[in-house]
Amino acid sequence: MLDSIIKKEFLQAQTVLQQFLSDEGNIQSIETAGMLMVQAFKQGNKIISCGNGGSMCDAMHFAEELTGRFRNDRKALPAIAISDPSYITCTANDYGFDFVFSRFVEAMGKSGDVLLAISTSGNSKNICLAAEKAKMNGMKVITLSGNSGGLLKELSDVCICVQNDGYSDRIQEIHIKIIHSLIHFIESNVYIDSFEADPI
């Protein structure tokens, strides 16, 4: 019984991934997003990332792989996730949870920067408000979402949507693969001369 439950989980994940890959537009969107990020870094700008719950973990993972290291030795890249609990609880207490990300973007985001906004529904109000503030600050907005992209899609320069009629964890599983693909793309294009070729 347990074997069938576990195998079913992997088969569902495989189906969602295959569906995502079957749309060439998804790959083009990832490449476009990657180029926007590369351009921002080459011009001395930064990336701010945000999300709720598991999507916050993804936002943090994205930022730490860039400031730290993913696959290759290279200079640290300026990326920060909005994840400081003292800041979040302070802002939520003073202004409400809807504003925990937009206040940070208002303070730290500038023209030429990029916001990576992650929401499986595309309708999280605090993420949408952050995207709105980013646009007001002259930032590019790249979003990872699910299905139609929700309200967030209209606020995006690039919206990468994962189609799935079931639970959001299937969407999140593709999001982390997209994130790893973006990081690899960035590493391969920002400091291209400092990298060794892939071993395979």
Look at residue 200 in the predicted model and tell me its pLDDT. Answer: 33
Look at residue 121 in the predicted model and tell me its pLDDT. 95
Given this model, what pLDDT does residue 73 score?
Answer: 85
pLDDT in tens, 127-175: 999 999 999 999 999 999 999 999 999 999 999 999 998 889 999 999 9
8 A C-beta contact, residue 59 and residue 172 = no
* Phi, psi angle pair for 136, to nearest 5°: -65, -30
Residue 192 phi, psi (nearest 5): -60, -35
pTM value is 0.92
* pLDDT score, position 70: 92
Residue 162 β-bridge partners: 146
The length of the chain is: 200
Other C-beta atoms closer than 10 Å to the C-beta of 21 total 11
Q: Which two tokens stand for residue 12?
A: 């569902």
pLDDT classification of 28: cutoffs 50, 70, 90 = very high
pLDDT score at 1: 58
Q: DSSP class of residue 52?
A: S
Give the DSSP letter string of 116-127. EEE-SSS--HHH
Tell the residue number behind the tokens 């030429």, with chain if given. 112
| pLDDT beyond 80 at 64 | yes
Full set of structural domains in the chain with CATH:
35-191 (3.40.50.10490)
- Calculate mean pLDDT across residues 93-122: 98
Distance in angstroms (rounded) separating the CA atoms of residues 33 and 140: 10
DSSP string computed for 86-102: HHHHHHHHHH-GGGTTH
Q: What is the pLDDT of residues 35-56, one digit of tens each?
A: 999 999 999 999 999 999 999 9
Helix (H, G, I), strand (E, B) or coil at 139: coil
Percent of the chain's residues with pLDDT above 70: 94
144 DSSP β-pair partners: 118, 160
Sequence-separated (6 or more) residues with CB below 8 Å from residue 132: 102, 155
